[in-house]
Chains A and B, each alone.
Chain A
């Protein structure tokens, strides 16, 4: 039986700093284990299956199927095969530093401090696990005063070839002062449809003064897979983080976004949609920390749940005492397509400052029978009518995406 924690030798083990944080990660994960329903942060999201599986740590392999991903917009394509960065296949832009993370840790120690030791805490067990294997992933460094118009597309292609792979990916993304960039993550699978694997992703993102990052993501993993992602975002003065995540694949998926609005006028948009069937669990967890004055955050998450599936939304807005004149809004809405579909929603507001605007809301409903009949009475099939209504339901969330081509692409996937 080989579980999630294994002793394997990784590059850089001889570096004391790296060895220490890997060991810390291992120890923290070993002490917490796979979270159960007793763990408040994971009480709605079942992870039982992870106990039952043997895992193989994903290592570079030859002869993967490596299909070229079709994207209907122009982008710099950066490929990962089973979680392993493939520079040979990737198209790397000029003027942006993109390096394997391990190379940065080994040869550019000045950046090591960016790897956040808060990730190795008991409340983030999978980030601790991720750090225990800290090796794979990339470093993206966008220099100050650079505007990168063409999106950087991080294409994660998985083909497990019958193995239960554990893919740990750790990306470090720094957008320096007064720069802007768009990052698109596309997680997809081809190969044996029933294969199990765990994609365990950490993105550490630093947005410096007056900088802006748009971060868009589609998660469409194999239907028996687990996908657990943490986006840890640090935003400086007048910086902005604008994100949208569409989750539709995997058996269990969590997209967790923690944003620290550290300095005045920092802002965040954390939007998303999920659409699911079968027995899947899709979890969207957010934690927005307003730590300074005049910071703003907006969240709009829309879900469509069918079959016996379960949608989970846990959204937290924290406003620190010094964060006066801040604004934080949050809205989660879900459409339940069957009697057995479920959503669990846990909004939390922690407000320690006066003079703030803060709101949250949650609603769930069903497809409107009158609308369905109206469409059918015009000759539209019931299935098409449902699809049109579902697309309409998700439309306002997807329309938050500033890039029209990327929004159109995500709309195509949101079916």
Chain B
């Protein structure tokens, strides 16, 4: 069975304020695959996810990133989102004065418009959000509140998951999706994420700890250290890593 590549990162080098962070990074993710990227603090995991989403402040010095065959680096953040990239953020941003419904309706309709689908009116939109929210065990009032303002850590992650469910991306990056979550919230969020797995949607799960991978079981695991992948394997690599610690792998390179 030939697989269709969704994301192809080749020899990526990037820096932030003259500091080399990513040093020759290679990774291909095919449709439907779930990859885990594990690495110690400071390895450049968040830099990678920010570059994938087009955040400013990062300079790509060489290499390329193709998404669905297109040059991803030439696209604005909103174009990437409309093409189907979604970043589930480690620290979701608070936006006082902007209700979740307003924010999400703008996002949904921008993406639907891009896909050539009719925009949803308020009734249709609210109905859809309520249905998706129910699956994630969200308090219905949450969508009336300002985006992430006064949300607990768990609520923020649930809202990220809700956004993912509603925006239906082709490729989702989960950046430290478990940080700030207690075990119950972790289960809910993981179940939400797993429900979104299908034969086509791909995911990159970036995490520090193996714990999350007990709930979201990856097809591939990569160890990321000092700006590049130092070892790749299946889900058992995560367990090995848990046992040996990162130090063992960093020395191997």
Q: Does A40 sit within 8 A of B, measured CB to CB?
A: no
In the complex, which of the residues B56, B81, B89, B93 contacts A379, with contact meaning CB atoms closer than 8 Å? B81
In the complex, which of the residues A373, A374, A384 contacts B110, with contact meaning CB atoms closer than 8 Å? A384
Contacts of B48 in A (CB 8 A): none
Q: Is the interface of A mostly helix, strand, loop or mixed?
A: helix
CA distance A134 to B104 in the complex (A): 54
Instruction: State whether A375 touches B95 (Cβ < 8 A).
Output: yes
Q: Mark B158-177, 1 if CB is under 8 A from A, else 0.
A: 00000100010000000000
Q: Does A371 sit within 8 A of B, measured CB to CB?
A: yes
Contacts of B80 in A (CB 8 A): 377
Query: Which of A378, A379, A388 is most buried by chain B, counting CB atoms within 10 A of its CB?
Result: A379
**A352 shortest CB reach to chain B, Å:** 37
Q: Does B98 sit within 8 A of A, measured CB to CB?
A: yes
Instruction: State whether B110 touches A380 (Cβ < 8 A).
Output: yes
Q: A371-B95, A374-B93, A376-B78 are in contact. Are A381 and B53 (CB under 8 A)?
A: no
How many residues on the B side are at the interface (Cβ–Cβ under 8 A)? 31
Q: Identify which of A143-151, A320-328, A390-398 touches chain B.
A: A390-398
Q: Does A366 sit within 8 A of B, measured CB to CB?
A: no
In the complex, which of the residues B55, B56, B97, B163 contacts A395, with contact meaning CB atoms closer than 8 Å? B97
Closest residue of A by beta carbon distance from B77: A376
CA distance A371 to B93 in the complex (A): 6
Q: Does B12 sit within 8 A of A, measured CB to CB?
A: no
Q: A373-B55, A374-B89 are in contact. Are A380 and B106 (CB under 8 A)?
A: yes
Q: Mark A178-208, 1 if CB is under 8 A from B, else 0.
A: 0000000000000000000000000000000
CA distance A373 to B92 in the complex (A): 11
Q: Does B114 sit within 8 A of A, measured CB to CB?
A: yes
Contacts of A388 in B (CB 8 A): 98, 102-103, 106
Q: Does B76 sit within 8 A of A, measured CB to CB?
A: yes
Instruction: State whether A378 touches B163 (Cβ < 8 A).
Output: yes
Instruction: State whether A379 touches B107 (Cβ < 8 A).
Output: yes
Q: Does B96 sit within 8 A of A, measured CB to CB?
A: yes
Q: Does B87 sit within 8 A of A, measured CB to CB?
A: yes
**A167 shortest CB reach to chain B, Å:** 36
Q: Does A382 sit within 8 A of B, measured CB to CB?
A: yes
Q: Does A355 sit within 8 A of B, measured CB to CB?
A: no
Contacts of B206 in A (CB 8 A): none
Q: Does A99 sit within 8 A of B, measured CB to CB?
A: no
Name B64-90 residues within 8 Å CB distance of A. 76-78, 80-82, 86-87, 89
Q: Does B202 sit within 8 A of A, measured CB to CB?
A: no
**B85 shortest CB reach to chain A, Å:** 8
Q: Mark A347-391, 1 if CB is under 8 A from B, else 0.
A: 000000000000000000000111101111111111010001101
Q: Does B186 sit within 8 A of A, measured CB to CB?
A: no
Query: Which of A373, A378, A384 is most buried by chain B, counting CB atoms within 10 A of its CB?
Result: A378
Instruction: State whether A378 touches B103 (Cβ < 8 A).
Output: yes
Contacts of A393 in B (CB 8 A): 97
Instruction: State whether A382 touches B98 (Cβ < 8 A).
Output: no
Instruction: State whether B77 touches A373 (Cβ < 8 A).
Output: yes
CA distance A393 to B92 in the complex (A): 19
Instruction: State whether B78 touches A379 (Cβ < 8 A).
Output: yes
CA distance A341 to B37 in the complex (A): 44
Q: A370-B93, A389-B95 are in contact. Are A376 and B106 (CB under 8 A)?
A: no
**B139 shortest CB reach to chain A, Å:** 21
Contacts of B89 in A (CB 8 A): 374, 377
CA distance A201 to B187 in the complex (A): 64
CA distance A274 to B98 in the complex (A): 19
Q: Mark B24-40, 1 if CB is under 8 A from A, else 0.
A: 00000000000000000
Q: Does B203 sit within 8 A of A, measured CB to CB?
A: no
In the complex, which of the residues A368, A373, A375, A381 contacts B103, with contact meaning CB atoms closer than 8 Å? A375
**A28 shortest CB reach to chain B, Å:** 45
CA distance A379 to B84 in the complex (A): 9
Closest residue of A by beta carbon distance from B114: A379
**A383 shortest CB reach to chain B, Å:** 10
CA distance A409 to B147 in the complex (A): 24
Contacts of B14 in A (CB 8 A): none
Contacts of B56 in A (CB 8 A): 369, 373
Contacts of B78 in A (CB 8 A): 376-377, 379-382
Instruction: State whether A382 touches B76 (Cβ < 8 A).
Output: yes
Instruction: State whether B107 touches A392 (Cβ < 8 A).
Output: no
Instruction: State whether A374 touches B92 (Cβ < 8 A).
Output: yes
**B76 shortest CB reach to chain A, Å:** 7
Contacts of B81 in A (CB 8 A): 376-379
CA distance A391 to B55 in the complex (A): 23
CA distance A182 to B60 in the complex (A): 59
Instruction: State whether B167 touches A378 (Cβ < 8 A).
Output: yes
Chain A residues close to B by CB (< 8 Å): 368-371, 373-382, 384, 388-389, 391-393, 395-396
Chain B residues close to A by CB (< 8 Å): 53-56, 76-78, 80-82, 86-87, 89, 92-93, 95-98, 102-104, 106-107, 110-111, 114, 146-147, 163, 167
A-B contact pairs, 25 of them (CB 8 A): A369-B56, A373-B77, A374-B89, A374-B93, A374-B147, A377-B55, A377-B77, A377-B80, A377-B89, A378-B81, A378-B86, A378-B103, A378-B110, A378-B163, A379-B111, A379-B167, A380-B78, A380-B103, A380-B106, A380-B107, A382-B78, A389-B95, A391-B98, A392-B95, A392-B146
14 further A-B pairs in the complex, CB-CB below 8 A; given A376-B76, A376-B78: A369-B56, A370-B93, A371-B93, A376-B77, A376-B81, A377-B78, A377-B80, A378-B104, A378-B107, A379-B82, A380-B110, A381-B110, A392-B97, A393-B97
- Can you list the 8 inter-chain pairs with the closest CB atoms, starting with the nearest? A392-B97, A379-B81, A378-B107, A376-B77, A374-B93, A379-B110, A379-B111, A395-B97
